[in-house]
Amino acid sequence: MPVTPQDPTPPPHAHDDPDTTPRTVIGIDFGGTKTELAVADVHGRLLARERLDTLAEHGPDQTLARTADAARRLARAARERHGATVAAYAAVAPGIVQADRILLTPNLPGWEKLALSARLAEELDAPSVAVANDVRAGALAELRFGALRDADPGLYVSLGTGIAAALTVGGEVLAGAHQAAGEIGYVNPGGAPVDAVASGHAPLEEFVGGKGLGERAAELLGRSVSADELFRSTDPAARELAEHALTVLAVTLANLSAFTDPARIVLGGGMMAAAEVILPTLGRLIAGATPFPPEVRAARFLQDASLHGAVTLALDSLPPCRRTGGGSRPRPIAPLGALR
């Protein structure tokens, strides 16, 4: 696939770069269906991007090899069009991204034994490649460039086919002891057996995630219905289902708010296509269920959040740049417990 140039709007925040030689970074977003890459400048602006079919059923080796080829094309484009070198790489993927494996990622068979950082460093001939979970990387993009910039603590929630969250504290995204902080899909909202997770279920995700909602809506209405269509429906049965789902989600977020006291909850993901219904409803319900209600706001990166997260992760892992007058300005420590 040819490199697609980008002409983005600059984000509201930038990493200053005093070097005379322009530097760029490459971010990679692995998904079960598609893999996307982008080369970006030190302000986080996407300069060019590529999209590949992951072909997950054929295993990780072919995906990594084709991704490395695409990254080399993007690096060549950055060099030829902008006179810039690639100074850092980062990649994100669904699941629990650990040093030697990726857990809980059924859409990427064979990746459960993949040391993603090491393999990418080998494929790209790079000294290191920071890697992280895709949702927590999306939270990092919101923290550096988006709706969580001035909120501490902040809570990022991705409402898509599945559901996950991330907590930001002191300018970093909490990773957790197993790189699993924010996996709220496994929260039991009540009604599921105590051992539901041990039995292979994700109770909250199955109830309020887009896939689960769509399945219940289709059964109820007798036709295929997406989650955002469900939230906009005027059918009484559909409205009851949507309101119940939002109530369960609001109670969950209120419980998290009572524990973490976030200044702001930022909502992203595909279900935010129905933001005009979701935002006011969740804001109202959360306000009535917690003593110090957080602000509830839409994410800045409603599309390509994980790709922007990978770019931001690469920016945060850049080596310190030298100032022309001597000395250096340190970059933030690699967040998310990023493995390199």
In this predicted structure, the answer to whether residue 7 has a pLDDT above a threshold of 70 is: no
**Using one digit for the tens of pLDDT, what is the confidence trace for 153-162?**
999 999 999 9
Whether pLDDT at 245 is above 70: yes
- Which CATH number is 147-298's, of 3.40.640.10, 3.40.50.300, 3.90.1560.10, 3.30.420.40? 3.30.420.40
Q: What is the average per-residue pLDDT within 235-253?
A: 95
Q: Is the pLDDT of residue 226 over 90?
A: no
Distance of CA 281 to the CA centre of its chain: 23
Do the two domains 4-137+303-329 and 147-298 of this chain adopt the same fold?
yes
Contacts of 276 (CB under 8 A, 6+ apart): none
Domain parsing of the chain, residue ranges: 4-137+303-329, 147-298
- In angstroms and rounded to an integer, the radius of gyration of the C-alpha atoms of the chain is 20
pLDDT in tens, 98-138: 999 999 999 999 999 999 999 999 999 999 999 999 999 99
State pLDDT tens for residues 250-307: 999 999 999 999 999 999 999 999 999 999 999 999 999 999 999 999 999 998 999 9
pLDDT reading at 336 higher than 70: no
Mean pLDDT of the chain: 89
Largest CA distance in the chain: 69
| Sign of the torsion formed by the C-alpha atoms of 164, 169, 173 and 178 | negative
| Single-letter amino acid code for the residue at 332 | P
Give residue 87's pLDDT: 96
Q: What pLDDT is attached to residue 4?
A: 62
pTM of the model as a whole:
0.89
pLDDT of residue 326: 40
| End-to-end Cα, the chain, rounded Å | 28
pLDDT at 10: 43
Asked if the model's pLDDT at residue 12 lies above 50, the reply is no
Domain range 4-137+303-329, its CATH number among 3.30.710.10, 3.40.50.300, 3.30.420.40, 3.30.70.1710: 3.30.420.40
**Gap between the Cα atoms of 10 and 160, Å rounded:** 26
* Residue 269 falls in which region: left (phi positive, over 0), alpha (psi -120 to 50) or beta: left
**Residues for the chain: how many in total?**
340
**Statement: residue 331 has pLDDT above 90:** no
Instruction: Tell whether the model's pLDDT for residue 180 goes beyond 90.
Output: yes
Distances (CA, A) of 223 to 10, 220, 235: 42, 8, 13
Q: Is the pLDDT of residue 46 over 60?
A: yes
Least confident of 110-119, 182-191, 220-229: 220-229
Contact 74, 1 (CB under 8 A): no
* Interatomic CA distance for residues 52 and 37, integer angstroms: 8
CA 172 from centroid of its chain's CA atoms? 14
Cβ count near 327 (within 10 Å) = 8
Residue 26, pLDDT > 90, answer yes
The rounded distance, in Å, linking the Cα atoms of 148 and 38 is 22
